Structures are given as structure tokens and as C-alpha cells.
Structure 1
């Protein structure tokens, strides 16, 4: 079974699930997001956001393919590009971190270890780009696919709670914790992915 994590671009945006292509929960502030939905323009706003982040910052996501079929994705960016992040009671994201916004995996591929590999791939990308950590707003009451990742899932792939909250804890994964951790990342990528493509968001959260 061939597995690849490919950088997200406007060309493969079509490989995200339809509801995710039309979701601007993270990409716009609450007022602008509601206005985009009322105007029937969320897909256009999503494309504009990805285009702007690619031009100004670089790769902001990965699409997961198994045997050339898209089965999942992950989105991440510095908090300055994520307006919704400032609306959370546990904000802001630390200035040395990139925000893990959301991720999704087809149900039939959950439990195969791809969630951990996605986080490790993002970590490897951000280490190369000089960042110290990944942070995310977890959902402590997650019951079904949504725009936030379940807090329990984040804990299971190495995140620690840095600002507790009954609903939306802010969680952090240190990228340079130990040499052995980085070696484990490389080994997992080699074994599970073969080769990650060079630069050109599990369950839905």
C-alpha cells in the first residue's frame, strides 16, 4: 500500500472533502466567516486564504494519499494567518509556535498510525523552517467530526496541555524535545511513507 503526504496547493485543494473546501472556520474571523457563508463564497475565500499563505509564508498543509487516493489532510499556519484563533479563551498561540488548525482522515484509514505520521511530518517541516513548537486548540468535549481536533487525540500523539480549559485547552508539542524523538520521527517516516516529497490538516476537526 503506497502512502504519500503531498504539500497542499491550489491544484490539489479539490482532493479535500467538499465540506472542508467550503469551511472557513479558521481562515476568517467569526464575523467575516459568517458573512462569507451568507454570501455563498466560502470556497472562494478558502482558495484566497491558501493562495495568500503559500505566497507569503509557504506550505501550509499536507494531503494524504494511499494508493493515489486522497484519504486525509492537515492544515497549519502561524497564528497571524489564523484569525479565528484569537477568539478562543485560551489564546493566543505562543509566538514561537505554528498552529495546527485542523485535520481529517477517512474512517476506514483511522487506526493505521497515519495520524501520528501526519503530526510527525508537520513537525519535520517546521523544524526545517526554524520553529520550536506546534500548538493547537483541542476540543475536550469532542463527539463528532468538527473543525477542532479532539484533545485526547492530541495527547496521544505527544501534545501537552499548556493552558487548561474545560472546553478548549491549548496544547503544545515541542519540536526539539530530544534527539531520540527526532530519530523516531525519521524512522517512522522512512517505514510508513517511504519518502516525503520536498516542499513546492486523523479525524475531521
Structure 2
């Protein structure tokens, strides 16, 4: 089996699973979902949102493909582009953070434990882009969906979406280094700092490159000096 993770591109939307291509839980205003009564082209709306974010901000996803088939994906974006992010009880997202909206694995991806791999790919991308933190709204079991908090259940009932289906379990986020910054019995907000240890490898490699460059320049300088005659 051959598995690889790559950044999502406009011409690579077919690398998303069927649900990921149709799910607009995060991408559409809940009021618009409710008023449409479920009669909207979800795949078109999702593609329009992805296109808008990628054109304005850059790649907003990491996708895992196994033997040519989609087995997992992680989507992330600036919070201002995510309508649902403004309505959760633990909002708002930190001003210096990018929001991880969804992380979905197909059965084959779960068997390969690709969740952590996708998180690492997201972190690597954001570190390269100078982002300071990654945040996410987690979900915990043991509570009913809070219709008094942004109409989460009623607004998505007809859209093949639900908090349980479309949000990331808080325990998974905690297992992958996220820390709770806004507690809630159902929808805690968690944060992963990206300016601590996640970029150590890149920093070391960059420092070694600078040292090698300095050493090579010094050797050239020595070679170009005029030898002093020996009497």
C-alpha cells in the first residue's frame, strides 16, 4: 500500500472524500442553511468556499491518499472565513491563530492511524507560513447538541451533517498536543502553539546551512589569498 499526504489544491478536490466534498457545516452561515431547508448544492457551496480561501490565503487543507483513493483530510483557514466559528459558545478564536475546522478519516485511514500524520502536515505547513498558533473547537460526548448555541442541531439536520460527524473529538486534539484555552462541557476550544518546539527541525537545518555556507566562503577566501614567499 502506498500512502502519501499532500496539500490540497484547486485542481485536486477529487482527493477529498465524498462527505468532505459535501459537508458545509463550517463553511456556510447556519442561517443560510436553515433558510434553504436543505435544498442547496452543498458540493458547489463547498467548492466555492475552498476556491475563495485558496485564492485569498493559500492552501487550506492536507489530504491523505492511499493507492489513489482518498482516506483522510484536514481543513483549516483563517477564522474570519469560517461562519460557524463566530457562533460557538467558546468563540472567538485567537487573533494570531488559524482554525482547524475538520479532520476526517475514512476506514482505511483509521486503520493506518493517519490522524496524527495529518495534524503534523498541517503544523509543518503553518510553521513554514509563519503562523503562531493552531486552534480548534473540540466536541465531547455525554451531552445533547446545544440548539441554544448557534442552532447547531436544527440548522444542520437536513444537511447530512451534525456536530458529532463534523467536529473533532476534544480527546483526539489533546492527545496531539492541543491544550484547552476555553473550557466547555460540550464544545471546548483548544490551542496548539506553533512557536515552541514544532519548528526545531527546520531551525536546526537552516542553522547548519548557514554554517556550511560560511565555511565554504571562508575556504574560498583562503584559497584566493596571495601566498607569502618563504625566505
Q: TM-score, normalised by structure 1?
A: 0.81
Tell me which structure has the larger Cα radius of gyration: 2
Is structure 2 residue 195 aligned with structure 1 residue 176? yes
In 1: Cα distance, 2:142 partner to 2:105 partner: 16
Q: TM-score, normalised by structure 2?
A: 0.73
Matches within 5 A, 1:184-195: none
Corresponding residue of 1:148: 167
Please name the residue that 1:70 is paired with.
Answer: 70
The offset of 1:36, in angstroms, is 4.8
Aligned equivalents of 2:200, 2:171: Cα separation in 1: 22
- For residues 53 and 25 of structure 1, the distance between their equivalents in structure 2, rounded to whole angstroms, comes to 16
SS, match of residue 110 in structure 1: helix
How much has 1:127 moved relative to structure 2? 1.0
Structure with the higher helix share, 1 or 2: 2
Q: Give 1:39-78 correspondences, 5 Å limit.
A: 39-78=39-78
- Give the secondary structure class of the aligned counterpart of 1:38: coil
- Residues 24 and 121 of structure 1: CA distance in aligned 2, closer, same or farther (over 3 Å): same
Q: Between Structure 1 and Structure 2, how many residues are aligned?
A: 184
- Structure 1: give runs of 5+ residues left out of the alignment: 187-205
Identify if the C-alpha distance between structure 1 residues 23 and 35 changes in structure 2 by more than 3 Å, giving closer, same or farther. Answer: farther
Q: Is the 8 A contact 1:36 1:45 kept in 2?
A: no
Task: Report the secondary structure of 1:122's partner residue.
Answer: helix
Instruction: Summarize the alignment of residues 95-134 of structure 1 with structure 2, pairs less than 5 Å apart.
Output: 95-110=95-110, 112-134=112-134
Match of 1:138 in 2: 138
User: What's the C-alpha RMSD, in Å, of the aligned pairs?
Assistant: 2.3
Kept in 2: contact 1:78–1:98 (CA 8 A): yes
CA–CA separation in structure 2 for the residues paired with 1:62 and 1:178:
21
Aligned equivalent of 2:79: 79
1:182, 1:32 → 2: CA distance? 43
